[in-house]
A and B are shown apart, each in its own frame.
Chain A
Amino acid sequence: NAGVTQTPKFRVLKTGQSMTLLCAQDMNHEYMYWYRQDPGMGLRLIHYSVGEGTTAKGEVPDGYNVSRLKKQNFLLGLESAAPSQTSVYFCASRTGQTRNQPQHFGDGTRLSIL
């Protein structure tokens, strides 16, 4: 099994451009998450989903949109990229069958906004 796969791994954008980051998991997990990781800040939750067709805001949702049309995929969109969105983005998933379950992470997407 591949686990959690993030696409692309690297991307450079110009300010104002848009793009979509794709996260795919093959573990049939109900819950999926998008985080950003900045130096000295740890991981901060952007948006999450508790099941197909559902999304919710996390700690830092402004400037991002998400969609969960299929259970295995969770998309993160930047409509108009800003330099402040330069970061490493991580997707994670976990089962929702019980509360105390760990998250499984992808290897990240490194995004630079010029």
Chain B
Amino acid sequence: SQQGEEDPQALSIQEGENATMNCSYKTSINNLQWYRQNSGRGLVHLILIRSNEREKHSGRLRVTLDTSKKSSSLLITASRAADTASYFCATDWNTGNQFYFGTGTSLTVIP
């Protein structure tokens, strides 16, 4: 399987704390994307980082990418109860037509 691995599988934090989740992947990529999935819903795109970028910010989100280690991290700062969801990384590969998703991190933010 080309799937990536996410770490941790589950994370529980207090509201206002920061949440960090990590993604490792197996193949060379053109870009890496992070998605959020609320319970019972489809995935929603959060941020995309290209293979020639090392860090990217969007609001309370900060993503880093280390292509030498084939890994990425997603930091959510000042977490809110509404951030409770599962978070997935996705990488494209080869021609860029196919995407592989990690196994996800389940984040619970306690009010």
| Interface flag for A62 (CB, 8 Å) | no
Chain B interface mostly helix, strand, loop or mixed?
strand
Q: Is the CB–CB distance between A102 and B45 below 8 Å?
A: yes
**Nearest chain B CB to A68's CB is how many angstroms away?**
14
Partner of B50, one of A44, A56, A100, A106: A100
Which chain A residue has the least Cβ–Cβ distance from B33?
A: A102
Q: Is the CB–CB distance between A99 and B30 below 8 Å?
A: yes
B31: which A residues are within 8 A, CB to CB? 99-100
> Which residues of chain B have a CB within 8 Å of any CB of chain A?
1-3, 30-31, 33, 35, 40-45, 48, 50, 88, 90, 92, 96-104
| Interface flag for A74 (CB, 8 Å) | no
Query: CA–CA, A105 to B40, complex, Å?
Result: 13
> Which residues of chain A have a CB within 8 Å of any CB of chain B?
4, 31, 33, 35, 40-45, 48, 50, 56, 58-59, 90, 92, 99-108
Q: Is the CB–CB distance between A102 and B48 below 8 Å?
A: yes
Q: Is the CB–CB distance between B42 and A105 below 8 Å?
A: yes
Q: Is the CB–CB distance between A42 and B102 below 8 Å?
A: yes
Partner of A41, one of B40, B90, B103: B103
Query: CA–CA, A107 to B40, complex, Å?
Result: 7
**Nearest chain B CB to A4's CB is how many angstroms away?**
7
Q: Is the CB–CB distance between B42 and A50 below 8 Å?
A: no
